A and B are shown apart, each in its own frame.
Chain A
């Protein structure tokens, strides 16, 4: 005591300490009195109130942002749909409820039980969706019987709709119910079990932008949990709108043109890199997923040998085949190892070491210069030139055109393609590079791989004279209040130095491919529009020369060659570039070029009739 006597003896402070204690006791006494008043004196009154306490907060789903094309045409939308939900805290007898609901909805009890059970992850006060998108008839039947179905109620939920059905489905992706793994990191952002979330494509990449914010309404319910009265509403905040660079009619024309064929097509604005169309076939209807796809339908999609779920435009890697000759020709001209006058005598093959490398034309093209080599796709000319050029200069040039690298699109699954280099070969196969591989690479076979998007960028770069634009698909983002929060601007990835001379020589030759009678791309020639392009035929499996001719057309689908075509137009002042790949379509000129023809016709508003059989060049590559 002696040590703190210094202050304890001061009566003033002792008094003040006692004052503090009295203050504390006073406040606690007030609190206790109040608790006594609430919990003892008025206990009955509050117990009754608690019994009658029948207000519920119910969530109102926010409409997701719509997706529009570059001119404002609706690509992805929402429509109101009726659903049946149940509040678990209100349902005393789930068996009776499901037993009662099943005949009214005309669905199996099993399915309802599944929905009910998956709702066990939800908080008890959160409605469990039992059935999505029920018809008006079912809804009316449910309403009549609502008295017998305590705890359930009809909900109006915005349903994602894709008016174009299969149109550009891979680009949009689809929605599905959020999984536990997706939910955990997003709880803070307000996600709840049962929410829909983007599972692929733009729906996934722009989830935060499109989603919006849930609202809630306070409703008064009766003893059985039926909603009697809406008390107050906090409106949901809709998601932002996405405007794409896509041109809906063009996309539609390209999709239609594919018919039953599998493959991909990309159309680019050559002066900005804007993606005007991006097609993958076959496609699927994303709405199936929004409604909750059935197991069988899902398995069918997964097992389809033509891979309807694959986004082939960015995810499919194909040998560019003869379309790559554009790259080889420009590289050779720029390196000075060839000129437009360089003439090679094509006898159908060249011999390197002890191996013969064949031209697709067995009898050879005879004396061939650059123009003829591109127009008729002579392989031997490129073999000769490639040997002079070497793989290093070829791969460097190809990489500078945007091949062999991904563009970082806001989409999952974009592939890089492959431009082989000596270093790559060493790392991958632990061996050196062979001249034979240079020859094969020069005609876009062997190791070389590219996605349809990369081929389109390469073509656009040649068309605009050497500027590699980053391909972009989102043009602008607009908030629900109408404010523009993002506006795309063209982005130059790199510029390639190409001399006017080389460029002109190659471009004139590409015009010849389409506009001269022996050109392999004759199918895309128009009277009103000059197109320049290059066909390609990519080998899927190596076939023996012998069985090629007599079994042509009758080989199994999966062994047939891929057909490719790249083109731009108008030739003199290019505006758009196109790349088309038709899987197992056999010849670029006959399978891929006609699709490019429809694309150009749609974009430039040209009237075209059906393709005449003799307009189609059914040979070579």
Chain B
């Protein structure tokens, strides 16, 4: 079953790139949380633990041929949808949102799992349909349902950020599958209308965030506080930054959530534009490499899988960075491999595991 060729084809470059970014992230967390003296376990150590666990997930994933997922994925998708439904009714409520299932030792967040399973199920759908010279609206009915149902349930939790991410991931895969001209026009118009109509479906706090984003100075110490403080942190970093552990904004705790969603602000403040450029370059390399893996994939399923994972990483990176530097409203999307958090780390590493899997089996049927 195990082929020695798998080892020779293993994508060491991708793994090393991921590890490099993750270690940069942990170093950054060390600085971000250094002023929390007396904490039980330092955040950076916990993140190191999650990275280890994530590598375990990667190892577990690359052993099995990703092609098994084509069939298993349907079941996983079904179970996770059921879990999402379950969360809506019986989930654990925290800070006004119900997203978790309390498993005692661990809070399971099905919406995170859903990101992966949406990728798998859409990859299966498109690889089955094959190349049909552009998808029409009728052909897209099934993907829309597969995508829309979980997105709606996640939106209901309410977790707008994750719901939009799921839609973005699915949308990217649909775009890649190819649209008929008519379908493309209908979808763009429909999308614009939905964005307008969606405003009325938003919760008050979500509307508030968007208003604040459009004009943060409107409420500088209330909901605009995060954006302003983060911009000051990033901007005051200048060209070369204030040096490791030298960020006054982040060290003096003006910066909220600096170890999770705003981890990049700490980095940008301490390493300046030069550091930001390098980090963005690494992320860009990761994305391009992922697309390269898609291009070389051994079959359609693997190709779509790789595109889906790349889309997931890409939208996380772009949305988080845009939020941190004031280009998007605060929606609570973490920066993969950089923000502290077990769930995000595991989801990211699952994606990386799938990429590596597709990559190392590119010459096999």
- Chain A residues with a Cβ under 8 A of chain B: 3-4, 7-8, 10, 12-13, 16-17, 19-21, 24-25, 27-28, 30-32, 34-36, 38-40, 42-43, 45-47, 49-50, 53, 55, 57, 89, 120-125, 180, 183-184, 187, 193, 218, 231-232
List 14 contacting pairs A-B, 8 Å CB cutoff, sorted by A. Answer: A3-B298, A3-B365, A4-B297, A24-B287, A25-B284, A34-B326, A38-B326, A46-B232, A50-B236, A53-B249, A123-B253, A125-B252, A180-B38, A232-B221
Q: Which of B40, B238, B297 has the most CB of A within 10 A?
A: B238
Q: In the assembly, what is the distance between CA of A8 and CA of B183, in Å?
A: 24
Instruction: Kindly identify, within residues 310 to 365 of chain B, every residue whose CB is under 8 Å from any CB belonging to chain A.
Output: 310, 314, 318, 321-322, 325-327, 362-363, 365
Contact of B273 with A35 in the complex, beta carbons under 8 Å = yes
For residue B143, CB closer than 8 A to chain A, the reply is no
Contact of B300 with A123 in the complex, beta carbons under 8 Å = no
For residue B296, CB closer than 8 A to chain A, the reply is yes
Instruction: Kindly identify, within residues 275 to 306 of chain B, every residue whose CB is under 8 Å from any CB belonging to chain A.
Output: 276-277, 280, 283-284, 287-288, 291, 294-298, 300, 303
For residue B216, CB closer than 8 A to chain A, the reply is no
Contact of B314 with A24 in the complex, beta carbons under 8 Å = yes
Contact of B178 with A31 in the complex, beta carbons under 8 Å = no
Interface string of B225-248 (1 = CB under 8 A from A): 000010111111111000000001
Residue in chain A with minimal CB distance to B235: A46
**10 A-B pairs with least C-beta separation:** A46-B235, A50-B236, A121-B38, A39-B273, A43-B238, A125-B253, A38-B235, A46-B236, A47-B236, A184-B40
Contact of B37 with A30 in the complex, beta carbons under 8 Å = no
Contact of A218 with B221 in the complex, beta carbons under 8 Å = yes
Contacts of B172 in A (CB 8 A): 20
For residue B120, CB closer than 8 A to chain A, the reply is no
Q: In the assembly, what is the distance between CA of A20 and CA of B313, in Å?
A: 13
Contact of B36 with A16 in the complex, beta carbons under 8 Å = no
Contact of A13 with B239 in the complex, beta carbons under 8 Å = no
For residue B272, CB closer than 8 A to chain A, the reply is yes
- Chain B residues with a Cβ under 8 A of chain A: 35-40, 131, 133-134, 172, 175-176, 178, 221-222, 229, 231-239, 248-249, 251-254, 268, 272-273, 276-277, 280, 283-284, 287-288, 291, 294-298, 300, 303, 307, 310, 314, 318, 321-322, 325-327, 362-363, 365
Contact of A30 with B221 in the complex, beta carbons under 8 Å = no
Residue in chain A with minimal CB distance to B362: A4
Q: Which of A47, A57, A183 has the most CB of B within 10 A?
A: A47
Contact of A40 with B288 in the complex, beta carbons under 8 Å = no
Contact of A123 with B37 in the complex, beta carbons under 8 Å = yes
Contacts of A124 in B (CB 8 A): 35, 37, 251-253
Contact of B35 with A55 in the complex, beta carbons under 8 Å = no
Contact of A28 with B284 in the complex, beta carbons under 8 Å = yes
Residue in chain A with minimal CB distance to B133: A12
> B343 → chain A, closest Cβ, in Å?
16
Contact of A16 with B236 in the complex, beta carbons under 8 Å = no
Contacts of B252 in A (CB 8 A): 53, 89, 124-125
Taking a contact as CB atoms closer than 8 A, the residue among B175, B236, B268, B294 that contacts A35 in the complex is B268
Contacts of B238 in A (CB 8 A): 39-40, 43, 47
Contact of A38 with B272 in the complex, beta carbons under 8 Å = no
Contacts of A34 in B (CB 8 A): 322, 325-327
Taking a contact as CB atoms closer than 8 A, the residue among A10, A16, A40 that contacts B273 in the complex is A40
Contacts of A12 in B (CB 8 A): 131, 133-134, 178
Contact of A16 with B178 in the complex, beta carbons under 8 Å = yes
Contacts of A31 in B (CB 8 A): 280, 318, 321-322, 325, 327
Given A31-B322, A35-B273, are A4 and B298 neighbors across the interface (CB < 8 Å)? Answer: yes
